Amino acid sequence: MPYKGIIEKYRKYLPVSDETPIISLHEGNTPLIQAKNISKKLNFNGEVYLKFEGMNPTGSFKDRGMTMAISKAIESGSKAVICASTGNTSASAAAYAAKAKIKCVVLIPEGKISFGKLSQAVIHGAEVLEIDGNFDEALDLAKDLSSRYPITLVNSINPFRIEGQKTAAYEVCESLEESPDYQFMPVGNAGNIAAYWKGYKDYNKAEPEKYTLPKMMGFQAAGSAPIVEGHPIANPETVATAIRIGNPASWKIAEEARDESCGVIDKITDEEILEAYRIVAATEGIFCEPASAASVAGFIKYTRQNYFKDIGPVKVVCVLTGHGLKDPNTAVTNAAKSKKVRVNIEDIVSVIGL
């Protein structure tokens, strides 16, 4: 059967019925790519894989949750959806709402979302409202509006979002033909770590011998690390704007995932994020957005700290949650500059050193 997105593929694990109208852009089925160059660079005794969620239709993992959230919104008769966003949720909501022909309202922190993401929300026809506040304030407003007016909230506190996003864990299990031992991932509003954990638990329940439970290793940016610090951060800051969040909605569930899996939620600095961002692009040929590189930054940090030393060869998955093209400005300001040359072959030869 031709691939038609995560709802058709994983129908039996999802809260849908024959009555649910499926709004899909054929999300999911993203590649799990072995990162041999990173492994070698770090002298890592094991296998590292990158789950490249930037290959989803709108360039991030949000599409897995959005196909569910929008399909269920339509099923319940909703004519409009709303979300707060650091950029990717709004891009995804705008695209799926366009496909479903319903209204989409997005609240974003003014000047703090990358240009690619903003361009997606506007071109898909969403009502884009930039607020003079941060993501946490935008989310409070979106929750309030959806509780008082006929508009459905499609942030990850909408349980259908988590249901859709858990399918990424199924794909990892199927690609490896077993579970990984560790999964590294960025943590922002903390829905995705909850979703993956749910997915791994589903497969573990279905086939406990084949699919064991990985340790969930979540990473927040140091300037936006409420779970690590143990209290909300009033003015979160980080170069990884997607995870610039000071009071995650799924805080408790993320801690449960961490504790049940015997994993960690830790922080990495912006420098570590940008280093990982460059390494993934320059050594593996994969362009992810800065927030996504938090997973690899966490893996690099733990490998350098000899975390895996006495454990033996393990399989590690790092989730790359969004595509690098979402945020070209960060790439251009953090890589070698392009050079200007005249229309002259000798000049070019001397510059490139042939």
Is residue 116 close enough to count as binding ligand F0G by CB under 6 A?
A: no
> Smallest distance, Å, CB 1 to ligand F0G?
30
Residue 38 CA neighbour count, 13 Å, CB half: 31
CB atoms within 10 A of CB 318: 32
Strand extents, DSSP E, the chain: 32-34, 46-52, 80-84, 103-109, 127-131, 152-153, 182-186, 215-221, 264-268, 314-320
Is residue 97 close enough to count as binding ligand F0G by CB under 6 A?
A: no
Q: Contact, 283 vs 38, CB < 8 A?
A: yes
30 vs 86 by CB, closer to ligand F0G:
86
110 vs 347 by CB, closer to ligand F0G:
110
Exactly one of 30, 39, 58, 60 binds ligand F0G (CB under 6 A); that residue is 60
CA 343 to chain centre: 43
CB atoms within 10 A of CB 205: 9
Is residue 13 packed enough to be buried (19+ CB in 10 Å), middle (13-18) or exposed (0-12)?
middle
Is residue 86 close enough to count as binding ligand F0G by CB under 6 A?
A: yes
Report helix, strand or coil for 163.
helix
Is residue 241 close enough to count as binding ligand F0G by CB under 6 A?
A: no
> Binding string, 146-165, against ligand F0G, x = CB under 6 A?
----------x---------
Is residue 94 close enough to count as binding ligand F0G by CB under 6 A?
A: no
124 vs 308 by CB, closer to ligand F0G:
124
Is residue 298 close enough to count as binding ligand F0G by CB under 6 A?
A: no
- For Cα atoms 53, 322, 15, give the angle at the middle one, nearest 5 degrees: 50
Exactly one of 292, 296, 316, 317 binds ligand F0G (CB under 6 A); that residue is 292
CA 181 to chain centre: 20
44 vs 322 by CB, closer to ligand F0G:
322
Stretch that binds ligand F0G, among 119-127, 183-191, 196-204, 206-214 (CB under 6 A): 183-191
Residue type at position 340:
K
87 vs 263 by CB, closer to ligand F0G:
87
Chain residues that interact with ligand F0G, rule: CB under 6 A: 60, 62, 85-89, 156, 186-192, 242-243, 289, 291-292, 321-322
